[in-house]
Chains A and B, each alone.
Chain A
């Protein structure tokens, strides 16, 4: 039996969906290791405690609430000190983080403070006699390694969307905790949070991604992708490296080897030829649709469904058809 400490990611005062995924993964890990407790760390500005209920709903036995103005923004140094202090108390066998920019910044600091092994970005795991083994993509997504962690506490992070949030309600139990280091004394300070795609889904949260490539020919033609994403209603828009290099879309939209790795339920590649670096970032999508004028484009080799032809003719027709289908459904 091992207790699990899970870090619940917050951005701009809101719990992120990945926090519920991490709690779901932590619950699985506790159950697999013989029924330990799950304790979630929730840090933020005054008032963040109201978000604790969601964590209990997805399987947290207790929510450790860290309320302080110094956590209104991400505060890596004070958070690492606080999480490491809790994790090193002897209570926990494992810590779970989300494999996001925040989790992948924080988890190595915590592991280094405690001398713990860290298995990052896992898509699944199993427990055998207290040892956790997890699956992790290597070689730019071309191989899958099983990483085995020895020693306790062991630290792991879970890939966004790999664990779908599963309701597993517990009574809401909260405990107010204090920071192990003065949050205002941290050397690294966030002076501004720039939220992109305001009101739109993030690429890691969206069940559907419409991604555009050079075949769209100009920045303004991305409207075709935006329109299709709007028709789905649960979609985000991504881009290839060629597109972000041209400045047609922001760097944060880039999918591929040097950008984001995504695994949505549906990936629609529009005017994307399918360079190996792009495929590396999206080949784990559940269903892939390719729309391209070149019938020999490599994207068709990984696509479940393909349409060969002019994206400027196909996209408006597809957007209209999706709207009609949504209206019926």
Chain B
């Protein structure tokens, strides 16, 4: 990937509900009520798109960034956003609903990616709707590619990569050969906003739509509930005068001191 060699990058993105929403549970009790929900690209996937675009730009803009999304027909809107940011083309793997089984999703993505000749396959670290962070490493395993998750620093040079990944209170610096699968964490970059020109251009970029090959499902959501509301708390007072009462309650009531 140095010099003039074209770089080919796939970015797997997900359509997720906007989280600044008061969710309700659907009548069947196994999913959220979709009425009135707005959708966007998963935050972490936006950072993955940005990472892909920057790598291509560093490479003299030679090559291709492809946005791939598994989801319903309406997810074309999220692919168009990636195209407006600067991705070259999109692929929608059509599925009326996205299953809870990450391996089924990974299989459908791996089938699409397999013969694509990609140098890098990028994912967001986590999907904030399902809160799964399994699809990237599963795709890597299915394609037998090296994989680094939770990447917040990245250098690519001469067919190898060096990534720093976030752990709890620590980090690991990892080296790996390309092609590889990476999942991108917060902190690597900020995503660019689509420009008006980008939005106009996106309308003309190719977007393939084909059915997702999901296969057998081994994970199902059998119930969905809202977490119990936190009871309204107490304002103990103003400024340092309230400190003795707080300490007393932490000792006697909450029993945490």
Give me the interface of A with B, judged by CB distance under 8 Å: 11, 73-74, 76-77, 80, 100-102, 104-105, 107-109, 111-113, 115-121, 133, 136-151, 154, 160, 187-197, 200, 202-205, 207-208, 232, 236, 241, 244, 251-252, 254, 257-260, 265-266, 276-277, 280, 283-284, 286-290, 295, 300-310, 313-314, 317-318, 321-322, 325-326, 329
Give me the interface of B with A, judged by CB distance under 8 Å: 17, 19-20, 23, 25, 32, 43-44, 100-103, 106, 128-138, 140-142, 146-150, 152, 162, 164-177, 186-187, 218-227, 230-240, 242-244, 246-247, 249-251, 254, 256-257
- B234, A305: Cβ atoms under 8 Å? yes
- B175, A189: Cβ atoms under 8 Å? yes
- B238, A307: Cβ atoms under 8 Å? yes
- B17, A120: Cβ atoms under 8 Å? no
- A142, B142: Cβ atoms under 8 Å? no
Q: B residues within 8 A CB of A317?
A: 240, 243
Q: B residues within 8 A CB of A151?
A: 218
A277 CA / B21 CA spacing, docked (Å)? 11
Q: Which residue of B lies closest to A111 (CB)?
A: B103
Partner of B221, one of A120, A121, A147, A276: A147
Partner of A258, one of B23, B186, B227, B231: B186
Beyond the given A108-B133, A140-B129, A307-B239, please list 12 additional residue pairs across the A-B interface where CB-CB is below 8 A.
Answer: A80-B141, A117-B103, A117-B219, A150-B218, A154-B218, A252-B169, A266-B256, A277-B19, A283-B230, A284-B227, A301-B230, A325-B251
16 example contacts (A-B, Cβ-Cβ < 8 A) are as follows: A108-B136, A108-B138, A109-B138, A118-B102, A121-B131, A143-B32, A147-B222, A148-B219, A151-B218, A189-B176, A193-B171, A306-B235, A307-B236, A307-B243, A308-B235, A317-B243
Q: Which residue of A lies closest to B153 (CB)?
A: A251
- A306, B20: Cβ atoms under 8 Å? no
- B238, A308: Cβ atoms under 8 Å? yes
Quick one: given A193-B170, A197-B169, are A111 and B138 in contact (CB under 8 Å)?
yes
Q: A residues within 8 A CB of B239?
A: 307-310, 313-314
Shortest B112–chain A CB gap in Å is 16
A202 CA / B225 CA spacing, docked (Å)? 30
A189 CA / B160 CA spacing, docked (Å)? 12
A313 CA / B241 CA spacing, docked (Å)? 10
- B220, A251: Cβ atoms under 8 Å? no
- Interface of B, secondary structure class, is mixed
Quick one: given A101-B167, A101-B168, are A149 and B256 in contact (CB under 8 Å)?
no
- A117, B247: Cβ atoms under 8 Å? no
- A300, B235: Cβ atoms under 8 Å? yes
Q: A residues within 8 A CB of B134?
A: 104, 107-108, 111, 118, 120
- A190, B243: Cβ atoms under 8 Å? no
A194 CA / B25 CA spacing, docked (Å)? 43
Q: Which residue of B lies closest to A299 (CB)?
A: B233
Shortest A182–chain B CB gap in Å is 15
Quick one: given A143-B23, A146-B222, A148-B219, are A301 and B169 in contact (CB under 8 Å)?
no
Q: Which residue of B lies closest to A290 (CB)?
A: B233
Q: A residues within 8 A CB of B254?
A: 266, 286-287, 304-305
- B171, A76: Cβ atoms under 8 Å? no
The 4 A-B residue pairs with the shortest CB-CB distance in the complex, in nearest-first order: A117-B218, A309-B239, A112-B141, A108-B134
Point out which of A145, A252, A301, A313 has the most chain B C-beta atoms below 10 A from its C-beta. A145
- B169, A196: Cβ atoms under 8 Å? yes
- A138, B131: Cβ atoms under 8 Å? yes
- B174, A189: Cβ atoms under 8 Å? yes
Q: A residues within 8 A CB of B187?
A: 244, 251
Q: Which residue of B lies closest to A259 (CB)?
A: B186
Quick one: given A73-B172, A143-B226, are A314 and B240 in contact (CB under 8 Å)?
yes
